[in-house]
Amino acid sequence: MLAFSATLLASWEALAGGLAAGLLNGGPASLIYGMLLTMICGTALAASMGELASILPVAGAQYHWTYRFAPIAPRFFSFVQGWITIFAWIAFGTIGPFYIGTEIEGLVILFHPDYVAKKWHSTLLMWAIIIIPFIVNVWARRLLPAIEVIGGILHIIFLPVILVTVIVLGPRNPSSFVWATFVDNMSGWDNDGVIWSIGLLTAVGCVYGFDGVAHMGEEVKNAKKAVPQAMVYGVLINAVAGFGFLVGILYCMGNMEAALESKTGYPIMEIFYLATGSNAGTVVLTLLIMLPGFIASFNGMASVSRLLWSFARDNGLPFSKFFAHISPRYKIPMRCLYLTVAIQIILSLINIGSTTAFFALLSLSSLTFYISYLIPLVCLVWQRMRVPIEWGPWSLGKWGLPLNLISIAFIIYISIFLPFPAQMPVTAANMNYASLVFGAVVIFSVVDWSLRGRKKWSGPSLEMDAE
């Protein structure tokens, strides 16, 4: 499960793809110190969620934990929580194919500068990237454990390969650039605190999704120990790897403005080209980023399908009886896998009509994930201060409450800035619609509760608790 967790988060690969936002908002100072803060608070958050996973390691994860610990209206809050978590994972599952697809387009531009990327090109590439993990999850699922291990190994090995290459061949920036440069004149924001906080989100975006391990909990031996350990160590490994990646890249990136103006759309490709001096070298190094990220999509698809199946099993989805079916031949929730792929393919079509609308979907992922962690944590702290709790084998003991509170404070802080636009002045094209889309998700879940959920949702099944 540790390989599953380490590969799923794909921290340094995500940082490579999202480098531009951090460089525009605070530059090296936001990236470096934001990653250090994320390492500390992200590990505290994973450890806090690990306590919940140790008590109840079930596929539904967050909505099960909310139902167990909510002081009031557990049926309502767990139902809304279930939908929030589902939307988080649906958006998350679309991000990887989009980045990989547009990175492929960036490599094409590298060799053919006259090539004009069309929106439907990236959508077709996304479809190919979505279909392959689906095929493996169904017809080659016995290979998944080996693929996870390979992905974990590549995730660790490719990082030093990239860093050694750019350090040996690339230019050298002074330490003052890496550790003491704060960029406050590129994003349009005029408040240093806002600039740093928005830049921090680049680091924050590479450690969420660790609950994917919990959604596989019913298929893991000794889950009450294995799941929380994989969550915590997965976050810690990825945070350390992400920090090392940022330090190495910032020392060797050359001129920051030139990287941001890369014709490929990805500063990391300009950095690779500057180091190697060749298109071929840039392609090889970029592929070292793309491959572990691609393998992460195998794990992500497995996680979201199990979450959908769990919600259907508990009568939360429309047509729950249909989607709760387990294939007698494949012993997996085939219909939920089909549903996962269908949703991702449909959502990718949004990119053809409006890139702005599609980015609104992508920006939803971070906010919904962290809110899905916040709800059960608040419920846990409330109960922790009122009544004794029967802990699982993974317990933080006397450190539990302080780490829970640190996690809650961290989530509240970043949730304030996650909906902020990365650049000013705000236009329809660069507006961050995360808060609007999140509001729509909450309204949808409340309406669904009013029309259907309050009659059919009796709360999640807690059989695992008795085992």
Give the mean pLDDT of the chain: 91
Instruction: Using the predicted structure, report yes or no on whether residue 197 has a pLDDT greater than 70.
Output: yes
pLDDT tens across 145-196, in order? 888 889 889 999 999 999 999 999 999 999 999 999 999 988 889 999 999 9
Percentage with pLDDT > 70 across the chain: 98
Q: What is the pLDDT of residues 91-148, one digit of tens each?
A: 888 888 998 999 999 999 999 999 988 889 999 999 999 999 999 988 887 888 888 8
Give domain status of residue 465, yes or no.
no
Contacts of residue 29, Cβ cutoff 8 Å, sequence gap at least 6: 179, 180, 181, 182, 183, 196, 199
Which of 108-122, 194-208, 395-409, 449-463 has the weakest average pLDDT? 449-463
For the segment 420-455, what is each residue's pLDDT rounded down to a tens digit? 888 888 887 778 888 888 999 999 999 999 999 999
Mean pLDDT of 240-247: 96
In a domain, 461, yes or no: no
Radius of gyration for the alpha carbons in the chain, expressed in angstroms and rounded: 21
Residue 466 domain flag = no
Q: What is the C-alpha to C-alpha distance for residues 414 and 201, in angstroms, rounded to an integer? A: 7
Position 429 in a domain: yes
The closest alpha carbon to 338, from 349, 351, 323, belongs to: 323
Residue 343 exposed, middle or buried by CB count within 10 Å (0-12, 13-18, 19+): middle
User: Are 229 and 221 within 8 A, CB to CB?
Assistant: no
Which residues lie closer than 8 Å to 357 by C-beta, 6 or more apart?
350, 433
Residue 36: per-residue pLDDT: 97
Which amino acid is present at 157? Answer: I
Q: Is pLDDT of 466 > 70? A: no
Is 104 part of any domain?
yes
Task: Indicate whether 467 belongs to any domain.
Answer: no
pLDDT tens sequence across 331-360: 889 999 999 999 999 988 888 877 777 777
Residues 295-315: tens digit of each pLDDT: 888 888 988 898 899 899 999
Q: pTM of the full predicted structure?
A: 0.91
Q: What is the mean pLDDT of residues 50-55?
A: 95
Residue 462 counted as domain residue: no
Q: How many other C-beta atoms are found inside a 10 Å radius of the C-beta of residue 419?
A: 19
Which residues fall within 8 angstroms of residue 447, CB to CB, at 6 or more apart? Answer: none
Residue range of the domain that includes 438: 1-456
CATH code of the domain containing 105? 1.20.1740.10
**Quick check: 362 pLDDT over 80?**
no
Does residue 352 lie within any of the structural domains?
yes
Q: What is the largest CA-CA distance in the chain?
A: 66
Give the pLDDT of residue 361.
Answer: 73
Q: Percent of the chain having pLDDT more than 90?
A: 66
- Judge whether residue 283 has pLDDT over 60: yes
Give residue 451's pLDDT: 93
**pLDDT over threshold 50, residue 465:** no
CA distances to 139, 160, 162, 205, 235 from 154, rounded to whole Å, are 23, 10, 12, 21, 17
**What is the average per-residue pLDDT within 67-74?**
94
The tokens for 245 are: 């990646």
pLDDT-derived band at 220, boundaries 50, 70, 90: confident
Residue for token pair 């799923």: 8
* C-alpha to C-alpha distance for 53 and 213, rounded to whole angstroms: 9
pLDDT for 452 equals 93
Q: Is the pLDDT of residue 464 over 50?
A: no
Q: Which residues contact 197 (CB under 8 A, 6 or more apart)?
A: 413, 414, 416, 417, 420
Q: What is the pLDDT of residue 462?
A: 62
Residue 401 has pLDDT above 50, yes or no: yes
pLDDT band at 231 (very low <50, low <70, confident <90, very high): very high
Report the domain count for the chain: 1
Q: Give the count of beta carbons closer than 10 Å to the beta carbon of residue 284.
A: 15
**Which two tokens mark 144?**
């998944």
